[in-house]
Amino acid sequence: MATNIRIASWVLLLCATFSMAMATTSSPANTCSAPIGEEEEDNSVPVRKEIYGNGKIYDITHRYTTNMPSWETKEGLGQFLWLPASMKNGSLANNSEMKLPAHTGTHVDAPGHVYDHYFDAGFDVDTLDLDVLNVSVGPALLVDVPRDKNITAEVMKSLKIPKGVRRVLFRTLNTDRGLMWKKEFDTSYVGFMKDGAKWLVENTDIKLVGVDYLSAAAYDDLIPSHLVFLEGREVILVEGLKLDDIVPGIYVVHCLPLRLLGAEGSPIRCILIK
């Protein structure tokens, strides 16, 4: 009985928070007003922010740099941006070109990532459900995972995520260790084991799984966990999130991948709103 009351309270809190967040984010007064103090900034100097809207909006996307980790390399991402047309060299405008793996930094996986028949059938990032990736299906829950283990079925049970919660961001030891800030790829990162992925799919309503390193699946269970998550084409994996210094709790989340026809992965920009 106590468990049922606790779950019901969670769901009511989620619904109330979602309603307030929608009212806040959709209000013309809020969207048009400038945050206090921003008019005093020196506009001649580039400002790179992590938090916007007077502390209400958090950018949880990692900035692309040459030293960010890349899959199974000690050398980091390396150069990913070139300037073949430069005004300094006589061009009328600066025009950059970019080349990088689709699963670099903060990114999303499509079903074709681990299922070749889905890849051939066209289940690419352009087919992912924006209702799941954005505010339409309700708020998102940021949870802290026990720091001493991968995400197993036992861990999933211990988190007691209520039914009805459809989007969860899992913060792990990866954030504490700053793995996304380190150049060398680290195979000891925390991720889902197959049984944890299976428990999530079979026992929760979660459709968006967000994690804080380059893969949702633990290195030792890499393909088996991905197969469980992506087989039904209902769960979307958002990987490489920047979850430093954010209080666990309920947020509005927005994530938008590029519309890359035929791509099984894409860079993605994600924000949390209080």
Looking at residue 138, its pLDDT comes to 79
In a domain, 38, yes or no: no
In a domain, 262, yes or no: yes
| CA gyration radius, the chain | 20
Residues 6 or more apart from 76 whose CB is under 8 A from it?
A: 66, 67, 68, 69, 70, 183, 184
Looking at residue 31, its pLDDT comes to 34
| Angle in degrees, CA 14, 18, 22, rounded to 5 | 175
Residue 112 has pLDDT above 80, yes or no: yes
% of the chain residues with pLDDT over 90: 77
In a domain, 170, yes or no: yes
Chain-centroid distance of CA 66 in Å reads 20
In a domain, 259, yes or no: yes
CB-hemisphere CA count at 13 Å for 127? 17
Number of structural domains found in the chain: 1
Sign of the CA dihedral running 14, 15, 17, 21: positive
Give the residue-averaged pLDDT of 224-235. 98
In a domain, 117, yes or no: yes
Give the residue-averaged pLDDT of 106-127. 98
Segments forming the whole domain that contains residue 195: 51-62+102-273
Looking at residue 206, its pLDDT comes to 97
What one-letter code names the amino acid at 246? I
Looking at residue 149, its pLDDT comes to 87
- Render pLDDT for 166-214 as a digit per residue (tens, 0 to 9): 999 999 999 999 999 999 999 999 999 999 999 999 999 999 999 999 9
Give the residue-averaged pLDDT of 12-19. 47
Looking at residue 34, its pLDDT comes to 38
- Render pLDDT for 62-77 as a digit per residue (tens, 0 to 9): 999 999 999 999 999 9
In a domain, 79, yes or no: no
Residue 250 has pLDDT above 70, yes or no: yes
- Render pLDDT for 128-178 as a digit per residue (tens, 0 to 9): 999 999 976 679 999 999 998 899 999 999 999 999 999 999 999 999 999
Could you tell me the CATH number of the domain that includes residue 115? Answer: 3.50.30.50
Looking at residue 42, its pLDDT comes to 73
Residues 6 or more apart from 221 whose CB is under 8 A from it?
A: 150, 191, 192, 193, 194
166 in Cβ contact with 137 (< 8 Å): yes
Rounded Cα gap, residues 2 and 8, in angstroms: 10
Residue-wise DSSP of 230-241: HTTS--EEEESB
Helix (H) or strand (E) holding 107: strand 107-109
In a domain, 165, yes or no: yes
Looking at residue 137, its pLDDT comes to 64
Looking at residue 55, its pLDDT comes to 87
